[in-house]
Structure 1
Amino acid sequence: MGSGGLIVVDSDTCIVDMARYFMSFTQQESCGKCVPCRVGTRHMVEILSRVCDGQAELSDLDKLEKLAVTVKNGSLCGLGSTAPNPALSTLKYFRPEFISHVRDKKCPAVACKNLVVYRIKPEKCTGCQRCVSVCPTAAITGPRSEPHNLDKSKCIKCRSCYEICRFDAIAGDAIVIES
């Protein structure tokens, strides 16, 4: 993933967000002495953030790749020369996930908050109230043994309900972002 590391993930992990996380870490660790690392990694994090937020364009993926190569070749130390590896690796092996974020405005892992809206499937909800008990904003209401309701205006998209539901009654749907 980066400098010789290996990461095991499941289908609930957004590869794009993971690349952003690692790029943000390396950007913060940069000493700032050379311009490619100091400025390049910051711009790479900005591009990855736009991708995760559904605000990027397909041309941003090419910019990200070119910038990563420039940072890799132009940096003066080991950190700078390996800093772009998370972006390069994920673009190489998981490009369809990037394209899904950019073109379809959809996160396949249902993890990027700006690209998902949650809802309760009444036909699957048993009213067990497990989701009610974990919701930090009381966005989910309903009596026991009856399908619950989710108030989208209160939902902070923390995924707690999505993760705790045993009945697959919480759906994370792609939201429509107007260009």
Structure 2
Amino acid sequence: MSAPNHRPDKPLDRYPLAEMPALPPEGAPGEAPTPAAPAPAAAPVPRPAVVALDFLDPAAIRTDIPLEYPFRHEGREVRSVTVRRLTTAEVGAVIEAIPEGANYDLYDFVAAMSGLPAPVLRGLIDDDGAEVLARARPFLPRAVAAIFYSPTSGSGALSPSLPPAG
């Protein structure tokens, strides 16, 4: 037994509306299955509450780094970069934003610490970039600093090779 032919006899624009052939029911033999509607996206998991604390020693949690080569970004002059320590929630957000299987990028952490996008930090003149990384290093979370500045087995020098902080 052959499958019924649901194709019209003439081009569709030549049929008056009343003569249009009926569409076959979904799942009729010989018809391609209708793709299932996409599953609704899972509701986002609410983030835990975080309290903005008023730290007693602001100098201990932030530093201002003057730039030797100031620049303009998005219409605003940038003459210094301020880096600050991240809250535990901010560290978690940086880590969550890293795609599965991707390596951690030091600039993602410094971007969160400074408020400047990582591509902007990578665009700094080398001397300013090295100074920002060196001065940001003491403000990195310990676990993150250990990833980027762990001793190497060869010379015992810290990696990446930056001037010592201080």
Q: Please indicate the TM-score interval, normalised by the length of the shorter structure.
A: under 0.3
Higher relative contact order (CA 8 A, sep 6+): 1
Structure with greater helix share of residues: 1
Bigger Rg, structure 1 or 2: 2
- In the superposition, the TM-score normalised over structure 2's length comes to 0.26
Structure with greater strand share of residues: 2
